[in-house]
């Protein structure tokens, strides 16, 4: 399956395979909000605490003014694929 950030994600023998596409990784604004609100059911403050960003950064990502850092994109992809739980990140 190809997701909206042009990354190929598939599952083979219970192992998730993520193949990067060429260029800079992206995470569309609408996908960030869907992850936060629909998947994780978190408000902005909770989500910021989990992934380690400021509310101002999250606001700029969700309205499309800026893209998250590569590290934040990777964390959000892991959360979306449910490979890590938010409670795990809160402990770090």
Q: What is the pLDDT of residues 29-82, one digit of tens each?
A: 999 999 999 999 999 999 999 999 999 999 999 999 999 999 999 999 999 988
Average pLDDT over residues 81-91: 74
Residue by residue, what is the 3-state secondary structure of 11-35?
Answer: EECCEEEEECCCCCCCCCHHHHHHH
> Would you state the structure tokens that stand for residue 76, as one six-digit string?
């959000």
In this model, does residue 85 exceed pLDDT 70? Answer: yes
**Element at 9 (helix H, strand E):** strand 8-12
pLDDT reported for residue 33? 97
- Please answer whether residues 36 and 44 qualify as being in contact, where contact means their C-beta atoms are separated by less than 8 angstroms: yes
Residue ranges and CATH numbers for the domains of the chain are 25-90 (1.10.260.40)
Handedness of CA 77, 88, 85, 66 (dihedral sign): negative
pLDDT reported for residue 3? 47
pTM above 0.85, yes or no: no
């Amino acid at each position: 399956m190809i997701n909206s950030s042009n990354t190929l994600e598939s599952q083979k023998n219970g192992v998730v395979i993520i193949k990067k596409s060429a260029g800079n990784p992206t995470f569309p604004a609408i996908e960030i909000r869907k992850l936060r609100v629909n998947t994780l059911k978190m408000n902005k403050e909770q989500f910021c605490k989990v992934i380690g960003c400021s509310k101002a950064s999250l606001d700029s990502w969700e309205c499309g003014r800026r893209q998250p850092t590569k590290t934040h994109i990777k964390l959000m992809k892991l959360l979306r694929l449910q490979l890590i739980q938010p409670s795990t990140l809160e402990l770090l």
